[in-house]
Amino acid sequence: EAGVAQSPRYKIIEKRQSVAFWCNPISGHATLYWYQQILGQGPKLLIQFQNNGVVDDSQLPKDRFSAERLKGVDSTLKIQPAKLEDSAVYLCASRPGAAGTGELFFGEGSRLTVL
């Protein structure tokens, strides 16, 4: 079974530029999450989707971050414009069940460096 796929693995941009990360969850997984993980800390939830609907985006900085999961499968997270403090690893994860049940599987992450 293929795991959660993320791209790109690494991205370096200058502040005020934009960046987009892509995630393809495990086939059939209804719930998809985007997390931000700053070096040395645990993951922090940015947004949770159930199919193509948003369950929780309370911690997403909506003035600069946006995410979509249009067809309930893959998802894109965008940052525009980027700030220095956005330097982090962006982890995508998915769970099989509706309402976020089942084991959580993570992708390898996309490491963003903002200069």
Partner 1 sequence: KNQVEQSPQSLIILEGKNCTLQCNYTVSPFSNLRWYKQDTGRGPVSLTIMTFSENTKSNGRYTATLDADTKQSSLHITASQLSDSASYICVVSANNAGNMLTFGGGTRLMVKP
**Binding residue for partner 1, selected from 11, 107, 112, 114, defined by CB under 8 A:** 107
Neighbours of 1 (CB within 10 A): 6
Residue 89: CB minimum distance to partner 1, A: 8
Q: Classify residue 112 as exposed, middle or buried by CB count within 10 Å of its CB (0-12, 13-18, 19+).
A: buried
- CA 53 to the chain's CA centroid: 15
Binding mask of the shown chain, residues 45 to 84, with x at each position contacting partner 1 by CB under 8 A? x--x-x----xx----------------------------
Q: Confirm or reject binding of residue 44 to partner 1 (CB under 8 A).
A: yes
Q: Confirm or reject binding of residue 109 to partner 1 (CB under 8 A).
A: yes
